[in-house]
Amino acid sequence: MKKHQVTIIDIAKNLGISKSTVSRALTNNPNVSAETRKAVLEMAKSLDYQPNMLALSLIKNETRLLGVIIPDIQKPFFAAIVSGIQHAVGRMGYRTIIAQSDESPQIEKENIQALMLSRVDGFLICHTRDTRNFDHVKTLYQKGFPLVSFARICQELPIPKVVEDDFNGLYTTTQHLIETGRRRIALLAGPKHMRASKLRQQGYMAALRQNGITYDQDLVEHTRFLPEHVTSAVHKWLALPKPPDAICTIYDAGGIQIIQLLKNKGIRIPEDIAVAGFGNDPVASLVEPGLTTFEQRPYEIGLIAGKQMLDTLKKKFTDMPPEITISQGKLIVRSST
């Protein structure tokens, strides 16, 4: 079944020369006579020789493979980032191994350890919503692996980071809601410990403060991005003596679910309650009414992250501590507000 693979030694034997000479001919080394090179190239072609990258990797200790750790490839946001990363690093001959953590910190850790053993040349990591311990990434850092952190970043290491326009996104969205006459604006946030959620909430609070609206703790709910959390948050808000006249969320899927819930209850959007999201997922424009949302460009985030990885691999960042890069976004107003 599996026949002997053709090696440079086979070429050498067939031509009665040494493997060193064959290697030179194949690698464009100048120290070969023109006729020898020609003979080697022809023989390589006729034997259908394929270089064995494994042997090369072993010598150079470089695989040209990058590990990409994401929670879930089925989320359009992550799929777009992966696409961006691949297009950025593919030009330089790097391939990516995608590993999904399924939002489990344990699996995230296992994936990283497995890819470390596979000797990938670097890691691009987006943590699970529950990752709070970063020891596994610190180990990577100590071992000298090039690292780039994106979206849900690790702040405890001096590595390149690419994030969304968190603060500004919710600041702008909240500002827009206030400008359209809303005063009791609820916020569907994420896990309390999560950096992006905290920043987005700060943007929301800053807009309220700037417009002289007092912050009402009852109008802010924290979720772990699960549908049941959204349902209970909405029910809680609707049961308030003074229910909100607008709800903004830190993620589109939550906004879309809220639209469905409110429609089912016969509540008019945006007349009774306005709804806004974050991210501009492909679905945001398809729901009825269209979801007002702060656009993010995940593909661009991937491109930037990939670029940063290439720079790190070229050791451009030997001294200067790598900065955090914010991918700008903009508000897209649709009929939900």
Partner DNA sequence: TATTCTTTTGGGAACATTCCCACAACCGTT
Partner DNA sequence: AACGGTTGTGGGAATGTTCCCAAAAGAATA
List contacts with a copy of itself (CB under 8 A). Answer: 1-3, 5, 50-55, 57-58, 61, 63-65, 72-74, 76, 79-80, 82-83, 86, 95-100, 114-119, 144, 256, 282-283, 286-288, 299, 315
Which residues have CB under 8 Å from 215's CB, separation 6+? 205, 208, 209
Select the binding partner of residue 282 from DNA, a copy of itself, none (C-beta < 5 to 8 A, by kind).
a copy of itself
User: Which residues make up the interface to DNA (CB under 7 A)?
Assistant: 4-5, 7-9, 16-21, 23-24, 26-27, 29-34, 36, 49-52, 54-56, 58-59, 61
Shorter beta-carbon distance to a copy of itself: residue 33 or 260? 260
Instruction: Answer for the pair 256, 225: CB distance below 8 angstroms, yes or no.
Output: no
- Tell me how far, at minimum, the Cβ of 167 lies from DNA, in Å: 46
- Tell me how far, at minimum, the Cβ of 166 lies from a copy of itself, in Å: 23
How many Cα atoms are found within 13 Å in the side-chain-facing hemisphere of 179?
Answer: 8
Cα–Cα distance measured from residue 308 to residue 106, given in angstroms and rounded to the nearest whole number:
27
- Tell me how far, at minimum, the Cβ of 46 lies from DNA, in Å: 16
- Tell me how far, at minimum, the Cβ of 98 lies from a copy of itself, in Å: 5
- Tell me how far, at minimum, the Cβ of 223 lies from a copy of itself, in Å: 19
- In this structure, how many other beta carbons lie within 10 angstroms of the beta carbon of residue 9? 11
Select the binding partner of residue 328 from a copy of itself, DNA, none (C-beta < 5 to 8 A, by kind).
none
CA nearest 244: which of 212, 263, 219, 267?
A: 219
Shorter beta-carbon distance to a copy of itself: residue 51 or 105? 51
Tokens found for residue 67: 């590990």
Burial class (CB in 10 A: 0-12, 13-18, 19+), 88: buried
Residue located via tokens 């593909």:
299
Shorter beta-carbon distance to a copy of itself: residue 256 or 274? 256
Select the binding partner of residue 97 from a copy of itself, DNA, none (C-beta < 5 to 8 A, by kind).
a copy of itself
- Tell me how far, at minimum, the Cβ of 8 lies from DNA, in Å: 4
Q: Is 111 left (phi over 0), alpha (psi -120 to 50) or beta?
A: alpha
